[in-house]
Chain A
Amino acid sequence: MSDAREMNSSETIALETTHLTKRYGKTVALQDCTLSLPAGRVAALVGPNGAGKTTLLQLCAGLLEPTSGDVRVFGHSPRQRTTETLLRLSFVAQDHPLYRDFTAADLLTLGRHLNPRWNDTLARTRIQLLDIPLNRKVRTLSGGQQAQVALALALGKRPDLLLLDEPLASLDPLARRDFLRTLMDAQLETGMTLLLSSHIIGDLERVCDYLIILSASRVQLAGDIQEITQTHWRLIGPRQEVEAVASEQTIIEASHTGRQTTLLVRSAAPIQEPGAGASWAVDEASLEDIVLAYLGQQAREQARGREKLEVAR
């Protein structure tokens, strides 16, 4: 079973975007986004609020028309080959919108009539397993229960790709755990590809194996999480100029105190002797550190951009 999963995931690409750009008038929501998500992965889409996460997910679900560039879901454009694509895809929008005057049972009936690949037993069992009443109006259910109903409907569609926009944001820690467990169970059963957005990585770290960092409308980093953590290092050493550090490493973040310099660098090879004979302590960087370093880098570049503008004036 495990070998079959491995083979599958190395061959098929579930989601591919090429120079994908979305503008609203003069406002850029997503800029030149190119990425490729292998099938069977559980991917975290991480970035601050307003980074373009929702825009990217809506473009992938075919809810928005790109300004330029291209989206492919299992090789098809969701806007051009709508039926084929939408059959294979579920999208759970932020705050899990449901028809709030419907009962869970009504929503299951709706799902059954609207979706040819619908699996009623699967959706119904998930709701019942969590002791969620089928015959109460959805508006009377707790936030966690509503999230679970939305997830059960999305899973009942039996998607090959499931997109979830900030699925954990409105849930308490216990409901988060339950929600993620349902997701992981479903992933195990079907081998589906998952893409979840969040503005914090902490929630997703234990369930994801792929990371996409989005900020200021651009993809800052995308890749296998293990590869990412194996190529990013934290260096701590005596205070010195950043330029002194060996040139084969990319410095993502540098900070200084009176005596000490701390760097977060990217380097394909393990770091032996960085920088001009100085003694550095080298550690693997944690995923959270890496995410923050990339987001911080973006913020600093923006600040520099503004300074330049002001000087020009």
Chain B
Amino acid sequence: MIEFHLDPHSGVAPYLQIVQQVKRALRLGLLQVGDQLPTVREVIAQITINPNTVFKAYRELEREGLVHSRPGAGTFVRRTLATTSPTTQAELQESLRRWLGSAFAAGLDGESALALFLSTVQEFQQGAGQEEQKQEEPV
């Protein structure tokens, strides 16, 4: 069972924070197919939140095909987002750690390393998007 938390200063809508936390748990393999999400009552007890917000988050996850709700039983994981095996993930994390080591050695702090990482991800994805477009263009 996962536990939610709510950051009131993040600027992210509360329902979206729940959606993102479920997706994160799905990516990291903390939630597996068949696992039950906390009931709305349990979420209220955890983070004192409007029930409509929890319903909305769960509906969104259901719309994306990640969970399904069985009336009277609860909401269950239908599909996971883990793209690689836990072993591959651990290997990737290890190489990221090595990269961080050299970044810190070069004088970067956590925030600038994160900024560099995020901008590289963005650039990489844009590059990938352009590649795809090129391929789709008629020759």
**A208 contacts the other chain (CB 8 A):** yes
Q: Is A184 an interface residue (CB 8 A)?
A: yes
Given contacts A181-B44, A286-B11, contact A208 B59 (CB under 8 A): no
Instruction: State whether the Cβ of B6 lies closer than 8 Å to any Cβ in chain A.
Output: yes
- B residues near A205, Cβ cutoff 8 Å: 8, 14
Q: Are A206 and B47 interface neighbours, CB within 8 A?
A: yes
Q: Which residues of B62-104 are within 8 A (CB) of A?
A: 69, 71
- Interface size range of chain B in the complex: 20 to 34
Whole-angstrom CA separation of A202 from B6 in the bound complex? 13
| Cβ A202 vs Cβ B49 within 8 A | no
Q: Does A209 contact B (CB under 8 A)?
A: yes
Q: CB-defined interface of A85-96 with B at 8 Å, one 1/0 digit per residue?
A: 000000000000
In contact, A5 and B48 (Cβ under 8 angstroms): no
B28 within 8 A of A: no
A2 touches B55 (CB 8 A): yes
Chain B residues positioned under 8 Å from A185 (CB to CB): 41, 44
Distance in Å from the Cβ of B24 to the closest Cβ of chain A?
Answer: 20
Given A5-B52, A40-B52, residue A184 in contact with residue B59 (CB < 8 A): no
Instruction: Determine the distance from Cα of A180 to Cα of B6 in the docked complex, in whole angstroms.
Output: 15
Determine if A184 and B58 form an interchain contact, defined as CB atoms under 8 angstroms apart. Answer: no
* Closest-CB distance, A254 to chain B (whole angstroms): 21
- The reply to whether A209 and B50 form a contact with Cβ atoms under 8 Å apart is yes
Chain A residues touching B, range: 20 to 34
Asked, given contacts A206-B14, A206-B49, whether A184 binds B6 with beta carbons under 8 Å apart, the answer is: no
Say what secondary structure dominates the interface of chain B: helix
Tell me the B1-28 residues at the A interface (CB within 8 Å): 6, 8-9, 11, 13-15
Contact with B along A38-73 (1 / 0, CB 8 A): 001110000000000000000000000000000000
Residue in contact with B41 in the complex, picked from A5, A188, A207, A209, CB distance below 8 Å? A188
Contact A188 B44 (CB under 8 A): yes
- Does B59 lie within 8 Å of A2, measured CB to CB? yes
CA distance A1 to B41 in the complex (A): 13
Report the minimal beta-carbon distance from B75 to chain A, rounded to whole angstroms.
9
Q: Are the C-beta atoms of A187 and B49 separated by less than 8 Å? A: no
Tell yes or no: B139 within 8 A of A by CB: no
Q: Can you name 9 A-B pairs with beta carbons within 8 Å?
A: A6-B55, A40-B52, A41-B52, A42-B50, A187-B50, A202-B8, A205-B8, A207-B50, A226-B13
Give me the 3 closest cross-chain CB pairs, A-B, nearest first.
Answer: A188-B51, A2-B55, A184-B44
User: In the complex, given contacts A2-B55, A184-B50, what are 20 additional A-B residue pairs having Cβ atoms less than 8 angstroms apart?
Assistant: A1-B71, A2-B58, A2-B59, A2-B69, A42-B50, A180-B48, A181-B44, A184-B44, A184-B48, A187-B51, A188-B41, A188-B51, A205-B8, A206-B14, A206-B49, A207-B48, A209-B52, A226-B13, A229-B13, A286-B9
B: which residues have CB within 8 A of A?
A: 6, 8-9, 11, 13-15, 40-41, 44-45, 47-53, 55, 58-59, 69, 71
